Structures are given as C-alpha cells and as structure tokens.
C-alpha cells in the first residue's frame, strides 16, 4: 500500500467498481420484486457478514417467508435456509455449507457463525430457501455477498484498511457514503461506530420540513416490534445493502440504537410513565439489534469485544451505553466523581488488561463517543447555540460535554494513566457520534499541552447523514463554520483539525510505520447520487502519539 498524488478525477478502476456496486443494488431490487410477485419467500433485506476471525465469519440475512410476514409482525412460518460459502462468485468451488431456520421468534433473521475457513481470504456467500443452492433446485436465492477473513494471529501483515462510518439518520438524507465504500475493493472491513439507526418519531430529528424520506414506524420506537421494523426499514436502503454485500461490517452501538443519551438506567427522551420500564425498552432494542446486525452477541448482551488482525493491529470495541452512570449536569462537579463511570468497572478493567497484554503493533479502540477533552473559548451567540446542540453543551458554553468522556473524567484519567504507566504506545481511538470530523492528540494534561505529553491519538469521523452545524443553521458550508472551528482549535491545542461542514466517511490505513485516516465527504446528503471527494488526511507515526497532516490519501 503506497501513496501517490491524489487526483479528483475518477480513475477507470473507480468507475468500474462504482458500476459494479450499482449492479449489485439493481440485482437486489430485481430479486425482491420477482419474489414478491410470486408470493413466495424473498430476501428483501439483503445479506451481510461481520466480525471476521482468522478462521471464520458471521453471516446474516432475513427471509420474508410470505408477503404478510413483515418485520415485527410475528407472522410467517418457520423457514429452513441453506447457506453457502465459496471461493468464487459462481459457487463452483463451495468450501462450506450448512442449514439454519428463519423463525418467527427471531423475526425470520438468520445467522451462521462459520468456522474452518482460511485466514486473510476473500469468499463469496449466499443463502437459499426451498431447494435453492448448489444442488440446482428451483428455490429462491439471496443476493451474493463478498466477505473476508482476518489474518492469522502472529502473522506478519503489511497493511490493514478499514472503512469507518457513524451516525446514519434515515430521515436526514441518503446513504451515499455507504455506496462509495461498497465500491472500494481495497477494504478488509468496515467499522461502524454507532447510531446505525435512529429511534425518533418522524419529523422529530431532523425537523419535519427537512425530512428527505420518512421512516417506519412513524412514531418513536419503543417496543420490540418497533425496533425490528426500524432496523428492517434501514436495510431496505440499496446503498446499505451494497455495503453489507461488499464488506464484512464490525459494529458497535451508541445511544440511538436505544434512545437519545441512553445510560444504564434510562435515557434523555425515555418517559417511564408513558413508555414503560427502561429495562424492557433496552431489552427490546438489544434483541432487535442482535437479530438484525452481523454482530456476535456476548453472554452478557453487550458489544464490547476484541478482534485481531495478525501482528499488526488489535481492535478493542467498547459498549458505552449499557454500563454507564447517568450523565451529570453540565458544570456540576459530579463529572469528576470516581464513583461515576462511562464504561463500568468490569469493562474498564477488561480494556486496560487487553491494552497491556496486546503484542500487536497498533492498539485500535472503537469508542462511540469522543475521548479527547473539548473546551470552548468565546464564541458568538449564533454559533455557540448550534455547537451546544451538537456537542451536548449548554447555551452558556461551559467546557464539558457530559455525554462524552468529558462527563466521566475519572475513567479517562485512569485509562490515560494506565497507558502512560505501562508504556502502552501506538494506541488510536476511532470515534463517531458528533457529526463532525476531528484529528486529535489525546493529552495527558490538556491545560499544559503541547508542553506536556500525548498518551494516544484519536480520529473522529463525521456523520453519514445526521445534522451538523451547517444543517442546524441552514447555511452554506464553510461560512460561519470557519469562525467556530478556529475557536475550537484555539481553546483545544490538542485538536489538530475539525471539519464542521461535511457528511461522509473515513478510510483508516494501518501499516507498521503509521496509522492514517483519510477523510472523505459527499457532495450533498439529500442527493441519492451524491459524489464523493477526499477532504484531508492525518496520520500518527509509530512511537509518537501525535497526529500530523499529510498531503494525500493512501491509494
């Protein structure tokens, strides 16, 4: 993986891959339409894979056994499903095959945790019902997906490349960032850092007059049937289907898979008196998530876990909603209370132990909310209010975001001290949540940075569609945002760059020498055919714990 000068003109390779992604989406729609017309079983929600291991992969699909068996309805017969993995797209070299049952009790979703595969190998997979598959029956075949296993532990790996995304609000725009990532043939996996779905009622966020497409159900989702239907709605998006069909996805959740600003005992927009117990709502949300996502569920019903990529990288994925204490009031000294936690004691100990024990060159940490501190200097009132909305700050502009690690400073201090005390280097936090792109050093003491040390680095990706500063103010990009970005960086010298304007995605390229994030933006989130262009690139060199700008993306 070598760098070359970036060109904004599309290469022939890019055009061919984009055409292939469009063809995949077209085949999905054609198959669904045909199956619906016949009244028989159909694969209306695509196929997916996730959580790659050196010897295995998790496969996913959803079968609609009959036209009335819509997600969340509980209708439809249990349906036997055959899954296959092959070395070629024509399935002439099938290497693994098995069966599963799409049951009404799991919303007719199917998962197959396949083992016995070769490391660092691309495979094709598909599902079939009622006699379909390699035996040549007349049943229904799903779309074909492509996936890839991880390199074996201890194997010398020259490079790993991930797509990185976060915050995809169905009503706020089209998922063109997913389409552009699906068109890339150079990714080992796509990392989704949370807010895969949004729970709001239609027209609540964004406002009704800016809704691009209404979601289903129209009301705020609360019940198991609601969460199932919302997940299913998302997976009818052809760009999202193309992404899942092209790459394995490694996902964690954030708050909107449950409810806004969720914590272990409730959420900002959950009202027990009218919406029932929080425990029931969280259980419903988690059940639907594990049914509809290509994610391995732990026995504790959490998403924190590790994935290894040879000797090059180990990915530590966090769950920052299931165990956290309730958010403190902004400006309240409770943010420093050592009894309050964003991770919970068990998860923080698990993370610290894993970082210390890891012999991988790079320790990557998937965190749904930003770990770097954020403070603000003086800002004009018309900029402070929308920034406060995005970052969880009060209109007065106090220097803490209580929903991020800023609201749980003791956990952050303990983790940073652990990195320093145990000489854990080359730690990179990968973050979503706040609908802006950032490149940060993670300072040991923010007040004295850059004279004091940095313990790690952090790359934050912007949203796929969820509202940013420009959307809230309804202004053109790079107008008022220039003033806001300047103020943010002036008050936070560890912040090397912040982009308040874009929607898009990141591509993280990891080699032994450096980890580099290339930031891409789409031209218009309300345009289904939006183009993509490179914005900036930042990297951290091994052993430095600092980020620096580079002039071109890795190609």
Question: Following DSSP, what letter does each residue of 508-524 receive, concatenated?
Answer: EEE-SSEEEEEEEEES-
Counting every residue written for the chain, the total comes to: 555
| Helices then strands, each counted (H, E), the chain | 11, 22
Contact 370, 485 (CB under 8 A): no
pLDDT bucket at 101, cuts 50 / 70 / 90: very high
- CATH number of this structure's domain 39-148, picked from the four choices 2.30.30.30, 3.40.50.2000, 2.60.40.380, 3.30.70.100: 2.60.40.380
Q: What are phi and psi of 427, to 5 degrees?
A: -100, 125
What is the average pLDDT value for the chain, to the nearest integer?
Answer: 89
Domain range summary for the chain, segments of one domain joined by +: 39-148, 160-550
Contact 239, 530 (CB under 8 A): no
Contact 334, 397 (CB under 8 A): no
Given a cut of 60, whether residue 13 has pLDDT beyond it is: no
pLDDT bucket at 7, cuts 50 / 70 / 90: very low
| Cβ burial 384-423 (10 Å sphere, 16+ → b, else e) | bbbbbebbbbeeebbbbbbbbbbbbbebbebbbebbeeee
Q: pLDDT by residue (tens digit) across 321-354?
A: 999 999 998 767 788 899 999 999 999 999 999 9
Q: Does domain 160-550 have CATH number 3.40.1440.10?
A: no
Given a cut of 80, whether residue 55 has pLDDT beyond it is: yes
d(CA 24, CA 142): 12
Given a cut of 60, whether residue 100 has pLDDT beyond it is: yes
Q: What beta strand segments (E) does 132-247 contain?
A: 140-141, 145-148, 160-165, 189-192
Q: pLDDT by residue (tens digit) across 106-153?
A: 999 999 999 999 999 999 999 999 744 444 445 899 999 999 999 999
User: pLDDT value at position 6?
Assistant: 27
Contact 459, 517 (CB under 8 A): yes
User: pLDDT value at position 545?
Assistant: 97
d(CA 287, CA 301): 9
Structure tokens at 95: 């290497």
């Amino acid at each position: 993986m070598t760098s070359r000068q970036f060109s904004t003109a599309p290469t022939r390779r890019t055009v061919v891959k984009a055409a292939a992604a469009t063809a995949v989406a077209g085949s999905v729609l054609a198959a669904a339409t045909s199956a619906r017309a016949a009244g028989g079983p159909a694969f209306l929600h695509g196929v997916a894979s996730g959580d790659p291991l050196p010897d295995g992969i998790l496969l996913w699909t959803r079968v609609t056994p009959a036209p009335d068996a819509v997600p969340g309805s509980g209708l439809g017969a249990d349906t036997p499903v055959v899954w296959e993995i092959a070395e070629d797209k024509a399935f002439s070299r099938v290497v693994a095959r098995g069966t599963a049952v799409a049951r009404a009790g799991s919303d007719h979703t199917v998962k197959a945790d396949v083992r016995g595969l070769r490391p660092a190998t691309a495979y094709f997979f598909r599902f079939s019902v009622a006699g379909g598959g390699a035996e040549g029956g007349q049943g229904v075949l799903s779309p074909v997906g492509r996936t890839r296993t991880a390199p074996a532990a201890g194997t010398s790996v020259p490079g790993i490349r991930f797509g990185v995304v976060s915050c995809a609000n169905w009503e706020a725009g089209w998922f063109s960032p997913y389409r552009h990532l699906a068109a890339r043939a150079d990714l080992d996996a796509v990392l989704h850092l949370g807010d895969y779905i949004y729970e709001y009622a239609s027209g609540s966020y964004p406002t009704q007059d800016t809704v691009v497409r209404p979601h289903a159900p129209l009301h705020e989702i609360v019940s198991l049937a609601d969460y199932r239907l919302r997940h299913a709605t998302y997976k009818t998006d052809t760009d999202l289907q193309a992404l899942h069909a092209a790459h394995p996805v490694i996902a964690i959740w954030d708050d909107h898979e449950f409810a806004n600003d969720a914590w272990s005992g409730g959420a900002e927009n959950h009202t027990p008196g009218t919406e029932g117990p929080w425990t029931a709502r969280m259980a419903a949300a988690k059940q639907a998530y594990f049914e509809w996502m290509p994610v391995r569920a732990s026995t504790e019903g959490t998403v924190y876990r590790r994935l290894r990529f040879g000797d090059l990288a180990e990915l530590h994925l966090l769950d920052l909603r299931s165990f956290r204490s309730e958010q403190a009031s902004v400006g309240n000294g409770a943010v420093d209370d050592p009894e309050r936690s964003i991770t919970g004691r068990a998860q923080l100990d698990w993370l610290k132990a894993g970082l210390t024990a890891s012999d991988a060159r790079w320790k990557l940490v998937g965190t749904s909310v930003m770990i770097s501190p954020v403070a603000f200097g003086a800002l004009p009132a018309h900029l402070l209010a929308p920034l406060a909305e995005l970052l969880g700050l009060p209109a007065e502009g106090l220097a803490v975001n209580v929903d991020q690690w800023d609201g749980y400073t003791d956990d952050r201090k303990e983790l940073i001290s652990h990195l320093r005390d145990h000489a854990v280097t080359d730690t990179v936090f990968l973050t979503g949540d706040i609908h802006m792109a950032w490149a940060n050093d993670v300072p040991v003491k923010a007040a004295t940075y850059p004279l004091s040390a940095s313990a790690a680095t952090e790359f934050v990706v912007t949203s796929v569609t969820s509202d940013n500063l420009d959307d809230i103010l309804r202004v053109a990009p790079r107008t008022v945002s220039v003033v806001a970005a300047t103020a943010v960086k002036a008050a936070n010298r560890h912040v090397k760059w912040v982009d308040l304007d874009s929607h898009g995605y990141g591509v993280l390229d990891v080699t032994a020498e450096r980890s580099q994030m290339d930031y891409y933006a789409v031209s218009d989130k309300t345009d289904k055919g939006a183009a993509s262009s490179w914005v900036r690139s930042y990297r951290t060199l091994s052993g430095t714990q600092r980020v620096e700008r580079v002039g071109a993306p890795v190609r």
